[in-house]
Amino acid sequence: MFTYPLGDRAQLRPLEPWQAEEFLAHMDRARVSVDPWIPWATFSTDPDSARASLQRYADRLAQDTGRIHGIWLDGTLVGGVMFTRFDHASGVCEIGCWLERSGEGRGLVTRACRVLIDWAFRQRGMHRVEWWVAAGNTRSVETARRLGMSRDGVLRQRFPYRGVRQDSEVWSVLSEEWPSPGEGSVPGVQAELDRLMRVFVGAFTNTGDTRPDLGVIRDVFIPEGRIIASAGGEPVVYDLDAFIEPRQRMLTDGTLTEFREWEVAERTEVFGSIAQRFSEYRKSGRHQGEWFEGAGHKTTQFVRTPAGWRMSSLAWEDEPATTTG
């Protein structure tokens, strides 16, 4: 049985029927946080039903139509990732995840999903990995964003759960969008830095029914990261919490609506385990009901950590915004 280190004293391993009692104990701890979105706990209430849940995936593994892996933190099962659907003939598979609260805040699910997605693309030649999520499951949506996935659309009232029809969001990543292997590969590093910038910029979007979630910024930055606003005078330096909290509030309380920002040009330079990026961006939205359009420039610094590339600092300067009625 293979073991894949995820860092932070965590491991990724296959989850098999003989581990049913350990799985059941984990489900008892995770029941409150997991069952509203994934019916693992509903299906796993005693050793026999827990074993049956794992046996279904063992059967899919034998048929090459799915597989399941657990995440162990300090020797305790705290979550997992799985291919709920794996169709090699079409080149399309679906990945899912779950996690109990004791494993949250460490990036374990994101790292474990990357292992499975990389295996699907590199080893099995898959073309598209999908992520299906109930529209209200914000933590799962955050993970899709961190993985660099694109939101393909919403299937309204697709399925009933506990007497309520649920919307499903569909996210995906294609093989050509996935970063190239090899930490020393400049194209691979460029692709990863592109992904980090997409996650950062995409966190602010609240157009249509897209929900902004600036919390993902903590996942693309090192914890000690700094974000700096320059307006020609004294620069304003934020730590991550000071930057995120007021902007999350503006994007959700009606102050700033229909907002999006996008990168229109960039130049990235990589020097071993550090990198820098100069970006030109555009943005638009409504501020207190008044439409505006703007532009500006960013400079972003990156460092390579044991968990992968992360932003270490970002500074920006806006050009004067234009408004219309």
Read off the CATH number of the domain in which 238 is found.
3.10.450.50
Residue 246, amino acid:
P
**Final residue of a structural domain among 159, 177, 195:** 177
Average pLDDT over residues 305-323: 85
Do 169 and 224 lie in one domain? The reply is no
Residue 194 lies in a domain: no
Mean residue pLDDT of the chain comes to 88
* Burial label, 220 (beta-carbon count in 10 A; 0-12, 13-18, 19+): buried
Q: SS3 of 120, please?
A: helix
pLDDT for 117-170, tens place per residue? 999 999 999 999 999 998 778 888 888 888 888 889 998 888 777 778 888 899
Whether 183 has a pLDDT exceeding 50, the answer reads: no
Q: SS3 of 140, please?
A: helix
Q: What percent of the chain has pLDDT over 70?
A: 94
Q: What is the CATH number of the domain that holds 91?
A: 3.40.630.30
pLDDT at 132: 92
**Final residue of a structural domain among 177, 196, 228:** 177
289's CB contacts (< 8 A; 6+ apart) are: 257
Do 22 and 159 lie in one domain? The reply is yes
pLDDT at 134: 84
Angle made by CA atoms 127, 159, 92, in degrees to the nearest 5: 10
The residue with tokens 């995120």 is 244
Alpha helices in 147-268, H assignment, sequence order? 186-202, 217-220, 240-252
Do 129 and 228 lie in one domain? The reply is no
Whether 325 has a pLDDT exceeding 60, the answer reads: no
pLDDT at 315: 97
For the chain, how big is the Rg over CA atoms in Å? 21
Measure the CA–CA gap between 291 and 85, rounded to whole angstroms. 43
Measure the CA–CA gap between 205 and 190, rounded to whole angstroms. 23
pLDDT at 160: 78
Predicted confidence band of residue 324 (pLDDT cuts 50, 70, 90): low
Residue 299 lies in a domain: yes
Task: Name the token pair of 260.
Answer: 């999006």
**For the chain, how many residues are written?**
325
Do 119 and 264 lie in one domain? The reply is no
165 - beta bridge partners?
A: 160
Average pLDDT over residues 295-307: 91
Show the domain range for 54: 4-177
Domain count, the chain: 2
Residue 199 lies in a domain: no
Do 222 and 122 lie in one domain? The reply is no
pLDDT for 97-109, tens place per residue? 999 988 887 778 8
Do 248 and 115 lie in one domain? The reply is no
Do 317 and 238 lie in one domain? The reply is yes
Do 15 and 64 lie in one domain? The reply is yes
Q: SS3 of 32, please?
A: helix
pLDDT for 42-73, tens place per residue? 788 899 999 999 999 999 999 999 999 999 99
Q: SS3 of 28, please?
A: helix
Do 166 and 233 lie in one domain? The reply is no
Task: Name the token pair of 22.
Answer: 């350990």
* Burial label, 133 (beta-carbon count in 10 A; 0-12, 13-18, 19+): buried
What phi, psi does 16 have (nearest 5°)? Answer: -125, 160
pLDDT for 227-272, tens place per residue? 999 977 889 999 999 999 999 999 999 999 999 999 988 888 888 8
